[in-house]
Amino acid sequence: MIIFHEKFLLALSIGSLLQPKQQAIRDQLMKLFEIVTIFARRWQLGFDSIKIEHINKLKTEFNQTKQFISIVLKPFLPRMIDSPLRALACALQDDFYSNV
């Protein structure tokens, strides 16, 4: 029973991106969420309150972060079980929406 519990905990830590070797992915996902949150908060203040320079900066940061995550996760797509991380990795692929 203990062995099964340890395997379960390991699977949870891997799936939650809590392994040390997954830190880069976790950090980039957090950065992506931060960029989206900043944009959403600015948008709620009204379109007039957003400077085009700030939008362009957020867009550049978003695209760079998205590209990093896509490149890192792409080799793992065939091996990933159906999960939110797989769905995110698929959605971040540049050609994802061209096939829809």
Predicted confidence at residue 56, as pLDDT, reads 93
Predicted confidence at residue 14, as pLDDT, reads 65
Instruction: Please give the share of the chain, as a percent, with pLDDT higher than 70.
Output: 81
Q: Whole-angstrom Cα distance, residue 49 to residue 51?
A: 7
Q: Whole-angstrom Cα distance, residue 33 to residue 92?
A: 13
42-57 pLDDT, tens digit per residue, is 889 887 878 889 999 9
Q: How many residues are there in the chain?
A: 100
Q: Whole-angstrom Cα distance, residue 65 to residue 100?
A: 23
Identify the residue with better confidence: 56 or 7: 56
Q: Whole-angstrom Cα distance, residue 45 to residue 63?
A: 23
- Short-list 17, 24, 31, CA closest to 65: 31
